[in-house]
Structure 1
């Protein structure tokens, strides 16, 4: 498998944060989005941002800004499809997706997802938090996706599918589990309290 390319999913409506681009919220010396970019960039061959609306508002990132391939707000799978269409254009075979509001995801995310897919002999792999009580809790916005399934995904979305795991289960997705380090590495910011907590984690966590 060649090195995957990355798509950062920034198409959410951020209603619990008052709307706008959640990734632009400040965190430390940067923003949620800059932390995500810094973590993903060393792990992928190329990178793009999935966001709807005026793309010029992200010009400072230096990334291609891609709007959803499917009309209407179709959720994270629409962003994955957008990434797959872009990957096909540039000759990539796989895409890694990451959420723009999850600033502490693992720095070995891509390698672990690729290993999980190869281990199980499948094309899709999802990240999961390894919870001591509940087991592996899947994180469907962090995954490895093959370009070869983009038409299948497009058909599913056009048919009304919105729940990520319904589609991934159909294709027997592998799971790469990550333990707390010491907190959930897929902790994401949905509310002002979450943002304050993220700042505390940035300042105090190892």
Structure 2
């Protein structure tokens, strides 16, 4: 049996457009955003951790390791990827999957599709209704061997996920439009309302949040 890669949910941002609230813990469809995300992620990966800053107690009910950014100053998702790489290395893994904590509709074949790219690094890509190609670099697979270069890039002030993709030679993996939309992310209250509407229209079942 092929071993499953570990995965880290990146939820270390400051969520300014949501008033600083944890987007992953927002209510959605009778559960929370992260419950929907975990429902899609479990079974695709091995061990799961969450990258988050501040008091880790607010995540205690998930039963997951909480990994703070390894560099100060909230430098963005690149720091979350570095936390994921450090943790994956400690797990003895050679690659790690990362997903954004505000993406409740993760495709059920997400990790399999990335692994099929036959590249050490791969990231999700979709096409908008108007034909615009959109990269989702936070939702990707990364080699642990990238750790040193990423740490150096962060120390040098690099913050762009696209620069990380270039550095890693990440291959884009295209996912077709679907309902619910893959990699839809929640940044605002309006986005949260749209996600609720998508669940209602799609008839996706309500997910019960895990017990403490």
Specify the SS of the correspondent of 2:54: coil
Q: 2:120 aligns with which of 120, 123, 137?
A: 123
Q: Which residue of 2 aligns with 1:159?
A: 156
Shift of 1:182: 3.8
The 5 Å alignment of 1:40-119 reads 40-116=41-117, 118=118
Q: What is the CA RMSD across the aligned residues, in angstroms?
A: 1.4
Is structure 2 residue 191 aligned with structure 1 residue 194? Answer: yes
With normalisation by structure 2, the TM-score equals: 0.90
Shift of 1:52: 0.3
Q: 2:171 aligns with which of 171, 174, 177?
A: 174
Specify the SS of the correspondent of 1:42: coil
Q: Which runs of 5+ in 1 are unaligned?
A: none
Contact 1:124 1:174 in 2 (8 A): yes
Deviations 1:159-189 (A, max 9, x none): 1110011121133211111111145311111
Shift of 1:78: 0.5
Contact 1:10 1:49 in 2 (8 A): yes
Specify the SS of the correspondent of 2:21: coil
Q: Which runs of 5+ in 2 are unaligned?
A: 204-212
The 5 Å alignment of 1:4-15 reads 4-15=5-16
**CA distance in structure 1 between the aligned counterparts of 2:131 and 2:172, rounded to whole angstroms:** 15
Is structure 2 residue 138 aligned with structure 1 residue 141? Answer: yes
With normalisation by structure 1, the TM-score equals: 0.93
Q: How many residues align?
A: 202
**CA distance in structure 1 between the aligned counterparts of 2:49 and 2:75, rounded to whole angstroms:** 19
Contact 2:105 2:180 in 1 (8 A): no
The structure that is helix-richer by fraction is 1
Specify the SS of the correspondent of 2:72: coil
> Structure 1 residues 133-142 or 172-181, which shifts more?
133-142
- Identify the structure with bigger relative contact order (alpha carbons < 8 Å, sequence gap 6+): 2
Contact 1:2 1:93 in 2 (8 A): no
Specify the SS of the correspondent of 2:148: helix
